[in-house]
Amino acid sequence: MINSAFAFVLISVNPANFDFHCHSSVSDGLLPPAEVARRAAANGVDLWALTDHDDLGGLDIARETAEAAGMRFVSGVEISIEWNNLPIHIVGLGFDQHHPDLTGGLAALRSGRLERARRMGEALAAIGIPGVFEGAMGYVTNPNLISRAHFARYLVSIGIAREMSGVFQHYLTPGKPGYVDHRWAGLAEAVAWITAAGGVAVVAHPGRYKMSGGDMRKFLDEFKDLGGRAIEVTSGSHSPDHVLHFARLARHYGFHASRGSDFHGPEESYVDLGRLPQLPQDLKPVWRLID
């Protein structure tokens, strides 16, 4: 067991390769948490967070396996929120995983996913693709955490599209026939749960959100006012242009910068654990905020 003073000393040693965004089978990743940990270590990651969607169930085994493999571990989660009618993700890092504000908030957030999944199945049946709810359930590994990714895997398996990205583009994004909204958390709620639990709130993959430059600034203003402190700059979802753009925004707002592969599985993710560019050197890496 590492006490917090010792953990602080450890984390103060600059990591060579940190990866603070990835998923296990506790949400919509393909590998169990221990396998994700071993794969991260094998890829040379030395400071690592598991950030499953809306669920902390993988953290204990991830920590244990990570430390046995010689990595330093940071608790993580990726919280699904809605801002201005857009689905957005906020990563939380380095929190007390037993804090009731966080665990209670996440439990409430998960509870509507099953009903939403049923409605997605009905919506797809209405356009002539029956049995998708049942099919998607065959891909679900945590019954409390059914995600659009499980639907996309099933729809690829029956030949609706060749890749998951095609399924999302035509069926599973806002305005498309299989998209069903959900009562996600608000920005204020998600940031409050993370900070109440002593963690750091981070904007996940900002390059993925379809918002204007003005809306992005409004969003980041709000995020900062609420206590958000960091933004993903290097991400498996970011192009080199995104990295430059969000590095500029990080400097402008005084945010710390995070780096995360968003790995979901070996055949599915373009970017493997730890295999992404380093942060631009002048940025403040987010691990400095975590003790």
Contacts to Mn ion by CB under 5 A: 28, 78, 89, 149, 204, 262
Q: What is d(CA 62, CA 218) in angstroms, rounded to the nearest whole number?
A: 36
Q: Output the smallest distance, CB 1 to ligand AMP, in A.
A: 32
Q: Output the smallest distance, CB 251 to ligand AMP, in A.
A: 28
Q: Which is nearer to ligand AMP, 149 or 220 (CB)?
A: 149
Give the DSSP letter string of 76-115.
EEEEEEEETTEEEEEEEES--TT-HHHHHHHHHHHHTHHH
CB 239 within 8 A of CB 207: yes
265 binds, among Mn ion, ligand AMP, none (CB under 5 to 8 A by kind): none
Q: What is d(CA 62, CA 73) in angstroms, rounded to the nearest whole number?
A: 8
CB 261 within 8 A of CB 40: no
CB 77 within 8 A of CB 55: yes
Q: Output the smallest distance, CB 76 to ligand AMP, in A.
A: 14
Contacts of 217 (CB under 8 A, 6+ apart): none
Residue 17 corresponds to which amino acid? N
Q: Output the smallest distance, CB 30 to Mn ion, in A.
A: 10
168 binds, among Mn ion, ligand AMP, none (CB under 5 to 8 A by kind): ligand AMP
Q: Which is nearer to ligand AMP, 31 or 149 (CB)?
A: 149
Q: Output the smallest distance, CB 92 to ligand AMP, in A.
A: 15
273 binds, among Mn ion, ligand AMP, none (CB under 5 to 8 A by kind): none
Which residues contact ligand AMP by CB under 6 A? Answer: 28, 53, 80, 87, 147-149, 152, 164-165, 168, 264
CB atoms within 10 A of CB 76: 26
165 binds, among Mn ion, ligand AMP, none (CB under 5 to 8 A by kind): ligand AMP
Q: In the complex, which residue's CB is closest to Mn ion?
A: 89
* Cα end-to-end span (Å), the chain: 15
Q: Output the smallest distance, CB 169 to ligand AMP, in A.
A: 7
Q: Which is nearer to Mn ion, 172 or 247 (CB)?
A: 172
